[in-house]
Structure 1
Amino acid sequence: MNNRTEQFHFFATPEEAKLIRDREKEIGILNESAYLRKMAIDGYLIQMDLSDVKEAVRLLGITSSNMNQYAKKANETGSIYKEDIDDIRLHQEELWKVMKEILKRLSTI
């Protein structure tokens, strides 16, 4: 258990204890000691919804994969089709929409 040798003890009413446990569950911290230590040191926690970031990563993966396929085709044939360029452009636009939404949401924190 690390080098944590100092103990802190405090009492709470049943209502306060419920609020503390509800907050732990709300932000997904399962270790009560870690939660209380974090709150005592930092005074606040921010829970971030990263679903937009995950979507951006997914779109980036699709775009990267498609670009690699198009580059391979261009190297083999010496040309690239307009449809391929349009597909890349479409995925880039989707990615930019998601990124703008992420930045907008982060600016409100």
Structure 2
Amino acid sequence: MENKDHILLFRVGKSELERIQQKKAEVGIRSMAAYLRKMALEGICIQLDLGDELTEIRALLGRCSSNLNQYARVANTSGNIYAEDIKDLQQLMTEIWDNQRALLKRLSDI
């Protein structure tokens, strides 16, 4: 067994301490030092970088929304809805769903 001769100190707020104690109790570890050591060595920290995917989905949603508004104006003015406009919207929605599925797949792989 390794000699434990180094000390780590850090401060936490009251709510953080309560949450740490609750999580420690949930896993059944009695010693705070043992719990913190185990979490520091074996715990998982996840940092997500979804900027590109979310930006793409946001842009597609914006385009879809703008197109819908334009089509609604045309329909209200002329009473006509064009098949080509509907196909454009369907294509945008397909892209949005494909991007969302890819993003959810990435998240589920974590």
TM-score bracket, normalised by the shorter chain, equals 0.5 to 0.7
Look up the match of 2:105: 104
Q: Distance in 2 between matches of 1:89 and 1:69?
A: 15
Q: Distance in 1 between matches of 2:74 and 2:46?
A: 46
Aligned partner letter, 2:69: N
Look up the match of 1:93: 94
CA deviations over 1:25-84 (Å, ceiling 9, x no partner): xxxxxxxxxxxxxx86xx442111212122111111110111011011110111111110
| Structure 1: tracts of 5 or more residues without a match | 1-6, 10-38
SS at match of 1:106: helix
Look up the match of 1:47: 47
CA deviations over 1:69-100 (Å, ceiling 9, x no partner): 10111101111111100110110111111011
Runs of 4+ with deviation above 3 angstroms = none
| Structure 2: tracts of 5 or more residues without a match | 1-7, 11-38
Whose Rg is larger?
A: 2
Q: Percent identity?
A: 49
Look up the match of 1:27: none
Look up the match of 1:57: 58
Q: Distance in 2 between matches of 1:104 and 1:47?
A: 16
Q: How does 1:1-109 map to 2 (within 5 A)?
A: 8=9, 43-50=43-50, 51-109=52-110
Instruction: Return the TM-score normalized by structure 1.
Output: 0.59
Q: Distance in 2 between matches of 1:52 and 1:108?
A: 15
Instruction: Return the TM-score normalized by structure 2.
Output: 0.59
